[in-house]
Amino acid sequence: MNETLRLIEHRCSTRTYDQTPISADDREAILHATMRAPTAGNMMLYSIIEVTDQALKDRLAVTCDDQPFIAKAPWVLVFVADMQKWTDLFDHSHAHEMEGVEPKRVPGPGDLMLACCDALIAAQNAVVAAESLGIGSCYIGDILEQGEIHAELFDLPPRTFPVAMLCFGYPLSSRPPSGRYEKHVVHANRYRRLTGDEPAGVSADLEHLHAPHGLAPGIDDYAQDVYRRKYATDFMREMDRSVRWWMERWESS
C-alpha cells in the first residue's frame, strides 16, 4: 500500500478540533490542490466561500441541524455549484446573439448536475490534500437544508447551489475509521438488483459491521434502523423541500 492509498484508508470524519489555526501556507496549498480537480470542460463550475466570520459559523452551527462543532472548526469552506459566473460572462459577451447559436437559454438540470459534480470533486481533493497535511475534515450535507436562510446568509444569486460544506481542523483525538460495506457495490457491465435472500444477508452484514452491540428495541433489522434514523426523518423532509426550492430557483427565468 503506497502513501496515498494509506492516507485514504485511514481517513475518517473529524468533529472535534484542536484550536491550533491552520496556517496561511497550508490553506493556500489545500485550495490549490482543490482547484487541480477534474472539471467539466475546464469550466470550473463551482465557487468556494471561505467562512471566516465567527458569527456566521455560529449561525451555521444552528441552521445545519444544530451541530455545535461547526462553530468550533478552525476553517470552514462552502462549495457552491455555480453557473452564475458563466451566465454573467455570456451576457457580457452577448454570446446568445451570435449567428447560428441557440437563443438565450436558462441553465437547466443538466447544468446543475455538472456543476454539482465539479464542486464535489473539488471538495474531495480538498479533503485528501488536508489529510496529507495532518488536517482532519468533515462534510456537512445539511448546508442543502434551510435554502432561503442559506441563500441570504451567503448572498447567493439564482444560478448557484451550495452542495457541500467542509469543516477543517487538526484532530483533537484520534479514532479508527468506520468500516465500509463493499459487497454488491461494483457491478459487471450492468446494474443488478438484489434478489432472493440477498437483501436479508446484506441487512445482517450491515448490522454486524455498524451495530455490533445490537439494535434498539422494536427494530428487527438494520434496514429498519436506517429507515427510522436516516430516511424517514424530519431533516430529510426539510432537505427534500429545500433542494426543490434550490432547483426551482436555479431554473427561474
49: helix, strand or coil: strand
Contact 96, 67 (CB under 8 A): no
Contact 13, 127 (CB under 8 A): no
Q: What is the pLDDT of residues 87-105, one digit of tens each?
A: 999 999 999 889 888 888 8
- Residue 44's CB is within 10 A of a number of other CB atoms, namely 17
Q: How far apart are CA 85 and CA 232, in angstroms?
A: 36
Residue with cell 447559436: 101
Which pLDDT belongs to residue 215? Answer: 93
Residues in the chain: 253
Provide the grid cell at 232: 424517514
State whether 135 and 17 are in the same domain.
yes
pTM of the model: 0.95
* 36 residue type, one letter: R
State whether 65 and 129 are in the same domain.
yes
**125 to each of 52, 74, 83, 116, 252, how far by Cα in Å?**
21, 19, 21, 14, 31
> Any idea what the CATH number is for the domain that residue 94 is in?
3.40.109.10
Q: How far apart are CA 164 and CA 161, in angstroms?
A: 9
Q: How far apart are CA 147 and CA 167, in angstroms?
A: 19
Which pLDDT belongs to residue 187? Answer: 96
Which pLDDT belongs to residue 45? Answer: 98
Q: What are phi and psi of 182, to 5 degrees?
A: -100, -10
- Rg of the chain over Cα atoms, rounded to whole angstroms, equals 21
Q: What is the pLDDT of residues 109-147, one digit of tens each?
A: 999 999 999 999 999 999 999 999 999 999 999 999 999
Written as tens digits, the pLDDT of the chain (253 aa) is 899 999 999 999 999 999 999 999 999 999 999 999 999 999 999 999 999 999 999 999 999 999 999 999 999 999 999 999 999 999 999 998 898 888 888 899 999 999 999 999 999 999 999 999 999 999 999 999 999 999 999 999 999 999 999 999 999 988 888 899 999 999 999 999 999 999 999 999 999 999 989 999 999 999 999 999 999 999 999 999 999 999 999 998 6
Contact 9, 1 (CB under 8 A): yes
Which pLDDT belongs to residue 253? Answer: 65
Provide the grid cell at 185: 457495490
State whether 16 and 84 are in the same domain.
yes
State whether 90 and 200 are in the same domain.
no
**66 to each of 106, 182, 244, how far by Cα in Å?**
35, 31, 22
State whether 108 and 148 are in the same domain.
yes
State whether 197 and 173 are in the same domain.
no
Write out the residue range of the structural domain in which residue 89 sits: 3-178
How many domains are there within the chain?
2
State whether 234 and 207 are in the same domain.
yes
